Structure 1
Amino acid sequence: MNYSLPHTIESHLGETLIFKSIRHEPDGDVLLCENFVQPNSGPPMHTHWLQDEGFTVLEGRIAYQIAGQPVQYANAGESIVFKRGVAHRFWNAGTDILHCDGWLKPANTIVFFLSSIYAAQNKSGKAQPELFDGAYLITRYASEYDMAEIPPFVKKVVMPIVYRVGKLLNKYEHFKNAPEPIRDAPELVDVG
């Protein structure tokens, strides 16, 4: 699935993300983005195995946490960086909309992955993505992304089973042009 940029996605949970452009650099492409987050909204604890991610707060106050560390805050004009392989989360800690410029390097499959996750959440109407879409995305792209709040047994056993059942039931036609996952991660899941 190719997306032309800029590309905007919205989650019913209160986040709008605009993938603005790609900046080509000698050591890899950088995806430039912008987000708008409603108060108390933001993604759960997650890991980008193969990407660094950064934000500069334009308006509002961001709270963020690296797994195992205390919550920290950044205000307008301040920047934060999450290194690849480090579990983290962030949310709007203010009472107004949080507005940030951001980047991810390298770009990899993030536009597809987040577009699909948001669509699956919007389809379910909950924080958890629709079951089959969620199983497809979490299992197939386990080499690139991890959701820390999903118990290991669910990620390693339940999700792959649901993924395979979804394949048997032909639930993934809308993913037929999905990009191949990048396979340079510490832990790979064979999804056949």
Structure 2
Amino acid sequence: MPTAQAAAPAREFIYLGNLFKVIADSSDTQGRYAAMEVVSAPGSEPPLHIHANEDETFVVLEGSMRLTCAGEDRILNAGDAATVKRGTPHTFKVLTPTMRSLGIVRPGGFEDFFRELAGEERPSFERIAQTAAKYGTRLAI
């Protein structure tokens, strides 16, 4: 007799104009981490925010960004990487027409935040803040 299975989580989706491709889902890594390739454009960046649960690593593959972390700015170009420790306020700004990056969160699970809001053309700030809080992240503005 066939059994019903839950649909597999989406591996590719769009959130706030960013194209996400999940390389390693937390379900693939026993929750240790999640890795996503992200294509971003200017204007698609997140507000200043703080993760309570995850360390986040950015690896710029193409283009460049300005990472603001704990009030200090750092320019990351293709080949550069930076890790933001949990509890640290951070955001970034895309400096080129497009930027392709690899984002890694440890432990995994935060990729589900993006999935939950994916497809909503322009979720309200309140919706984003409520969903972020569900995943242990606070918008800091």
Give the TM bin, normalised by the shorter chain.
0.7 to 0.9
2:89 is matched with which residue?
87
Unpaired runs of at least 5, structure 1: 150-192
Q: Return the offset for 1:14.
A: 2.8
Would you say 1:8 and 2:12 are equivalent positions? yes
Q: Return the offset for 1:9.
A: 2.3
Would you say 1:72 and 2:77 are equivalent positions? no
Greater fraction of residues in helix:
1
**Structure (1 or 2) with the larger CA radius of gyration:** 1
Greater fraction of residues in strand:
2
1:178 is matched with which residue?
none
- Aligned length, in residue pairs: 134
TM-score of the two chains, using structure 2 as the length reference: 0.79
Amino acid at match of 1:97: T
Would you say 1:49 and 2:52 are equivalent positions? yes
Instruction: Give the CA RMSD over aligned residues.
Output: 2.5
Q: Determine the C-alpha separation between the residues in 2 that align with 1:6 and 1:135.
A: 22
Q: Return the offset for 1:81.
A: 0.8
| Identity over aligned pairs, percent | 24
Change (3 A) 1:84 1:33: same
Change (3 A) 1:34 1:135: closer
Larger relative CO (CA 8 A, sep 6+): 1 or 2? 2
TM-score of the two chains, using structure 1 as the length reference: 0.60
Q: Return the offset for 1:119.
A: 4.4
Q: Return the offset for 1:138.
A: 4.7
1:112 is matched with which residue?
112
